[in-house]
Structure 1
Amino acid sequence: MKRSNSTYSILVLALALVLLGTFGAQAQVLYKPEPADNPNLAGNSAWTAVCASAGFNEYFVNFRWDPPMVESDNEFVLELSDADGYFAEPTELARVSDKNTVFDFEFQFALPTDMRGDNFKMRVRSTSPAKTSPASDAFSMYFIDYNSPLLISENGSGTIPSGGLIQLCGGGSVTLKPHNIPNAESYIYNWYRSGTLLATKSESITVSDPGMYYVELDYGDCSGSANTLSNTIEISTGTSSGLAINGATSVEVCPGDTYNLEANITGMGLTYTWYKDGTVVSGPTVDGSTYTVDGGATGFEGSYAVEIDGAGVCKELSEAVTISSTGSFDITVNNEENIVLLPSQTKTLSVGTSADSPSYQWYKNGSPITDATGSSLVITEVGEYYVEVTDNGGACTPAPVASETTTVVAPDSFEFVVDYVGTYTSCESVDATLSLSTINAVSENGAKTDVTADLQNSFDYQWKLNGGNVTGETSKTITLSNQEANGEYSLVGTVDAFQASSNTLQVKLASNETLQVTANGTVLCEGGEPIVLETTKDLTNESFQWKKDGTVVDSSSESYTVSETGVYQLVITSNECPLVSNEVTISAFDESLLVLDKTQDLIIVEGETQTLTASGADSYEWYDAGNNLISSSSYYDFTEEGEYLLIATFGTCTVSKVITVTYRDMFAIPNVITANGDGINDLWVLPNTYSRDPNVLVTIFNERGEQVFSQAGYENNWPQSTTSFNKQSMIFYYKITRGGKSLKQGTITVIK
């Protein structure tokens, strides 16, 4: 049967409605992303963990979605959670904009280099419309930034024991630690003992139980592919042999004498290592069970111990024996270690000693000085001087002890070193103090000797600025506090026929002047008055720059008219240093800056007051319906119905808000009246909202739908007569409209 055109149109419309119900009324469906195989690797399958590295970091994720279609500007974004599976601050892995008509596709991504964990999840977010897929399953994801075998040693010293064996005797312990990985503390570790995984996860482990110990980096499911398994160290335990050093534990030795130390275990072909104050002094030596302490050697005093090692015994260290010097004494040199001797000068060298009955002999350049046998010596020549002191009393045979050497030189020249005192920063500090820090005596061969303490009070000083003398500055210190003093400073000094010059120090002091920038507003709005930045400082002869967000935007105008939001400053170059003003932040205008504490549509009870308060603006103006200014406060007390205008000013910008005030109906529209002429409830009285308003039309219909009353600005005057009611009870219908829009409708029952 042939359909008519009208029938065909109806079918097309029905089909369109079905399609609208199927697609138009529902949102897109985003499915959770799934791991996908890598099309660039032959025979590959979907990954189960991400084990990325610098050598390989290419992974794929499959994503599906269902229509309706997304917007043309939509982008699909692949996001990664944190290591605990939370998306509070997701990491973007990939973003595509060319898949808006493809319902099944793959994302390609690379794992960020700082990702390590076992509970990462992924999700896909669309931007237009904004929707988010469910999260994926949790996966291990590790970026393997270190993938070489670890090397472990005792305390991470780098020394792997011979054969990988460490013996522990008498219940001791040892700490193992990798020594070939940078930033070792930033990783998590898997420690093993004889194949059993231990609980320790830190970079070091302290052990006392025997076993085979090794470690790898904990990369979760990626640990095996990281290839970080370390060498193995075997820990064995044994019983102490009771090693000790024969004799007393504290021995006094006369200077120049010797003393033999002997271990109590001998003749077993063992290896002996002797220590003084923890440092090896002999060995390891097979059968070296003795060690001779030489009391004639400087610094022979100390704590001596021996260690044994070898087949059949546990490696063991003895308790220490303390060797001290009897009859020893101290010599104190009372002068500087290095002395500069000027022409015609004399210097006195002296020493003090704790010897009971001392005698002295002074030496110059290694040879004794005739008749120089006192505790002090006056010198007039350069050379190297020291004194030998002999204690002629006590238990030991006298042995002379030499003091430290004093070097006396004649200078070829002098040099000064000056430096800043305290904290000084160029173009930031407003004052600076410079001072002489070192005086060096320079020999013919260029060798320098610090003679500051000896000669700093002997020189006459003069400070120079840019090569010229600074008037009145003749001490070794100068303090500067004025920008006009900026420049290069040096210090010269004279003593006898010598003149010394210093290095040069650059001084650039900041101005202590405050540079203030003002603006006639800080909120930029379209159509508003321009915002102008100004300063009271005269810029006529100044080098200056207006800057926005640190970038120069003008260097010629003494005031600057703002055209963009940002942070503005004025910088003046003053004596080679910048003088920087305060910051003026110009923000974009936003009507939300104006905040009202109540809605713009106020409902008040007639005869009462409702206060509306505004905040956020610089100033406020309230106008009534006649455009009369009624207040300039931030609030206004409303007592009457009507429309009011609030104008709030933000710098050069304004926001206008219309405030509508209406009376609250204190009673409902009545639906029953008694038109019996007794003066009570005879009239249908409406609330103020609907009565006496010329814009409100009240129309009443009888039960047959015939209009019986119609009045704009209803005066609460219906019915005007009771004679038209011919029944004891009659039903009427009313409709209240404003501008053709229905406000209320219902029934009125009239009882006679």
Structure 2
Amino acid sequence: MKTISFYGVFLTLVMCTLLAPNTQAQVLNKPTPADNPNLAGNSAWTAACASASFNEYYVNFTWNPPLVSGDNEFILELSDANGNFSSARELDRATDKNTEFDFDFSFALPEDVQGDNYRFRVRSTSPSVTSPSSDPFSMYFIGYNNPILVSQDGSGVIPPGGTLQVCDGSSIRIETHNVPDANTYQYSWYRSGTLLSETSNALTVSESGLYYVEIDYGIICSGSANTLSNTIEIVVATSQGVAIDPPSQTTLCATETVTLDANISGMGYLYTWFNGANIVSGPTVDDSSYVVDGSVTGFEGDYSVRIEGVGICAEQSNAITISSAADYTVSRGNDASLVLLPGQNQNLTVSTTALSPTYQWFRNGVAITGETSASITANQAGTYYAEVTQNGGACTLPPKNSEETTLVLPNNFEVIIDYVGTYSDCSSDNVTLTVLQINALDSGGNRSDVTSSLRTAFTYQWIKDGTNLPGLTSDQLTLNDVSDNGFYTVEGSITTFNTTSNPLGIRLTSDETLAISSTDLQLCDGVTVSISTTTDLTGESYTWTRDGVTVSTTDTELAAIETGTYQLSISSDGCPIQSNEIVITDFDASIVEIDGGNAIVFPEGESETVTATGASAFEWYDEGNNLLSNTDSVTLTDEGNYLLLASVGACQITRSFTVSYRDNFEIPNVITANGDGINDLWVIPNTYSRNTEVSVIIYNEKGEEIINENGYENNWPQSSVAFTKKNQIFYYKIKNARKTLRQGTITVIR
């Protein structure tokens, strides 16, 4: 009787399927959760509760013949939170499973996934077939996993004792204040243990109770988080309608008082009395009255009272205005300092709100006989003021003096000039000079500011570097050109007085530009970088700097032999003109990259286009030094050693790489470690072996890792390895940084 192996039957069926007419379509079964091979145990997940510390899940997928096309890809897709695939997102893609009818996808849960009705499906590309969708699953990315803090309006201030008060049907808003991107989550709010309908991070409350919140990660995943917040107690209180009883009077003389009484007294409440925004009494228990004293300076104002206590709303009354019955003002009608020029007088005045006022003028503290009106004509130097007395009204008030006015008999004048606004030497491109102040000087050298009264009475002449400027005779001068640079004064004249101001130096910046350029921006062996300018430096005072330090004051063209930031500065009218900066760096060879790396593998009989980046010119050579291409890419068909010569400016770099054909054999699942030199080692295709970006991991039957290395050298098992069984099974996984490329078993026969 002839024996036929299962593998042979299966292969025959597959070949028959390929050769026979395609009378049936592929069947893609719905995907199901799978065990994570990187975790202990052996159970599939029932809900995806991912976080920054764990986010690796597997989905099992099976399908039935006929075979798909060789270029087919299987794509694992995720629905939205309602199970809808109209905007499906890709989780994983398998390009090498076209002959495997049972395999696992791996994926990481996107950080915005939040819901209880997500579904999976698998889609093939050639032919285009879609599997049934999976069962619904709770899937949440737990982005925040700490206790939440809530406060009124999210202010971050947690109230003393955790209690907030709500008054008379009003409401307050409590909100999270420590959750980043708070609006990206759904929340569960509770009042005294009862779940509320609000799902945002803020809650408006008007009922008493104990309020707290947690992030809603679903029935299953919420147990994986610890977001329960602090508790805020809301107490509903009642308004008392506090007011101030109408007082007996609202205007006071200096000798009078009035008592203000709140319409609520006693009750153990705290009373705080205010004059405007200022507290004048309290908070004091049962202090429901306040006495306003007319003899206290500043007693006038708007008085109110605030009450607060257990079970009531804190509230403040409307204000009662208390004013002075007979206060009056006295105002001076002229400047504080005036000048008595030869042969001139000055008229001094005061005004007042006093009823039936009388006046008395004083000079140097002595009453002036007969000067009892609201004005006086003065012709002597001295200090003047008027005393005003009110002779009507309900209150008797003391006299008030006006502000003093000083009349100066000048011995000379002082004119002070200054810049208008901000001026900086060698930085500003325009400036205005102005007469800032005029002082009258008496015989003792004492100064009196008479600017406001005499500024327009003076005549002026502006002077630059000792020379009068024709026609420039106002009290201001505007300069806006480097030709205006120099030292300025102004001569001021009035009657017989002439005086020259303080000097001011002006150095405006030039609008001249200075540009430098270089032959290259990088230093490398055999390359000299030259920095120059198109500006003629003949006869100029200039400086070359590197990193702010002078390197030359004589070279019209600079040879840069060190890295750094270079700049040229020219002195113009004592002001530096700065050029642009040029940064010279060491040549960085790492910027030139070949997209296939230094070992390129492709199937024999095909070709591979290799592209380089990071340079401005490229030359590709084979082993015989033949130029293959002078663009950024080259198409290769033969194995061998190749060379790229890349240029970046004047700097050059070489990159060597090898081309080899990909092995046509599959990954073996049986080796015979019997030392006969035939099939003793587990040899895998060049696509995976000796590739530093590919990891090869081998496990024993117990799941213990015995090999984990990059750039596997096709050298397992070593001759020293002892096997415990005649036919011992091992497991392997081949991965790159992004995904598992291949996995399976190895049977060692000895």
TM-score (norm: length of structure 1): 0.45
Who wins on radius of gyration, i.e. which is larger? 1
